[in-house]
């Protein structure tokens, strides 16, 4: 029997065929509509119990805030360090017997080296003048019979990386006129090491926080599934897959992560504003206009997206595990 004949005989036939196709493949728009409805359902369920939802949201937000703040402060520290890096200086304190003329000579010969950007000689008397002006101990210093300060050469290395500066210092220590080599950037190196430590702590904390979030969100989802056991049983009985039954809970996890992430960026802004007003006073004393910077849009987006992803993944793990255990 040809298709045309059949259609003539039964006008309902083409429609019936279209329906079977609908059973097998969900259209994209249809899917989006369904998901929107499920997401709305999950959101309204969260609003039904505002107190407990808010508590979970805050727990997620605070958990995200801790590593975020640590990374944020560290990135500020790093940018502060970068500003100081250019001013790395090496001071050569000369032997007592080296005369001013000899000192000048050594200083000029150092200028010919390619690994030295700049060098100038500071005579013992110049040094005394500067020291007494800076320290406010003029009276005391005038009492002294001889100048206790040695002559010095202050130089700026061409390459300011810690390794290059160390190598330069080692070479200069070999010069017969040099008594002590002092690398001014040593404290910078220490600060850089501390900064590295802080970021390492931040990474460990981030891992702990992710595990914690999995636990918190997973547990919340577990309770939600427990409360809706009867509904899941019915869905499974009429042929809904585990994934179908899990969808509303995935949206719940996603919303917790998303909301927690947004809350975390807001809290972080609050913390930075509080810090900045205190920091301003300190920085004025140092005549610096340094300010803690927020994460900016990209970092804030990263927190929100990370929160949402963790929430969703935690919900996926928890819901599939607990839904699978429900046998109608």
Query: 3-state DSSP call for residue 288?
Result: coil
Residue (118 or 226) nearer to other proteins, CB: 226
Rounded least distance, CB 307 to other proteins, Å: 29
Rounded least distance, CB 24 to other proteins, Å: 8
Pair 193, 287: CB distance under 8 Å:
no
Residue (18 or 298) nearer to other proteins, CB: 18
Instruction: State the residues that interact with other proteins by CB under 8 A.
Output: 19, 22-23, 25-27, 30-31, 33-34, 230-231, 233-242, 244, 324, 327-328
Residue (43 or 154) nearer to other proteins, CB: 43
Rounded least distance, CB 2 to other proteins, Å: 22
Pair 115, 159: CB distance under 8 Å:
yes
Spell out the residues 6+ positions from residue 79 whose beta carbon is closer than 8 angstroms to its own: 293
Rounded least distance, CB 327 to other proteins, Å: 7
Residue (12 or 143) nearer to other proteins, CB: 12
Rounded least distance, CB 33 to other proteins, Å: 7
Rounded least distance, CB 22 to other proteins, Å: 6
Q: With residue 67 as reference, give the H or E element that holds it.
A: helix 50-85
Residue (237 or 285) nearer to other proteins, CB: 237
Q: Which of 204, 318, 302, 190 is nearest to 253 (CA)?
A: 318
Rounded least distance, CB 78 to other proteins, Å: 50
Tokens 């719940």 locate to 252
Local structure of residue 144 (DSSP, 8 states): -
Tokens 């100048």 locate to 147
Query: 3-state DSSP call for residue 287?
Result: coil
Pair 225, 264: CB distance under 8 Å:
no
Residue 99: phi and psi, rounded to 5, are -80, 170
- Helix axis angle for 186-227 and 296-324, nearest 10°, is 40
Residue (27 or 274) nearer to other proteins, CB: 27
Tokens 């850089």 locate to 192
Residue (136 or 239) nearer to other proteins, CB: 239
Residue 200: both structure tokens together = 């390492």
Distance CA 265, CA 259 (A): 10
């Amino acid at each position: 029997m040809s298709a045309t004949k059949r259609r003539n005989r039964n006008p309902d036939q083409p429609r019936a065929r279209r329906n079977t196709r609908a059973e097998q493949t969900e259209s994209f728009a249809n899917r989006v509509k369904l998901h929107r409805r499920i997401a709305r359902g999950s959101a309204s369920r969260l609003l039904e119990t505002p107190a407990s939802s808010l508590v979970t949201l805050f727990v997620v937000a605070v958990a995200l805030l801790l590593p975020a703040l640590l990374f944020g402060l560290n990135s500020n520290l790093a940018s502060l360090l970068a500003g100081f890096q250019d001013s790395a200086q090496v001071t050569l304190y000369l032997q007592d017997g080296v005369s001013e003329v000899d000192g000048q000579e050594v200083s000029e010969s150092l200028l010919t080296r390619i690994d030295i950007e700049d060098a100038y000689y500071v005579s013992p008397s110049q040094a005394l003048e500067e020291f007494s002006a800076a320290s406010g101990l003029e009276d005391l210093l005038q009492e002294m019979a001889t100048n206790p300060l040695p002559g010095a050469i202050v130089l700026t290395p061409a390459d300011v990386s810690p390794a290059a500066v160390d190598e330069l210092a080692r070479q200069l220590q070999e010069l017969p006129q040099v008594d002590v080599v002092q690398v001014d950037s040593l404290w910078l190196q220490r600060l850089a090491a501390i900064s590295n430590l802080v970021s390492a702590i931040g990474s460990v904390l981030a891992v702990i926080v992710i595990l914690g979030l999995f636990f918190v969100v997973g547990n919340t989802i577990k309770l939600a599934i427990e409360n809706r056991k009867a509904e899941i049983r019915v869905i499974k009985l009429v042929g809904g897959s585990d994934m179908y039954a899990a969808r509303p809970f995935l949206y719940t996890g996603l919303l917790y992560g998303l909301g927690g992430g947004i809350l975390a960026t807001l809290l972080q802004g609050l913390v930075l504003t509080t810090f900045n007003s205190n920091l301003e006073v300190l920085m004025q004393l140092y005549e610096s206009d340094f300010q803690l910077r927020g994460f900016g849009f990209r970092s804030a987006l990263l927190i929100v997206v990370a929160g949402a992803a963790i929430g969703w993944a935690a919900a996926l793990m928890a819901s599939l595990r607990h839904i699978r255990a429900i046998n109608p």
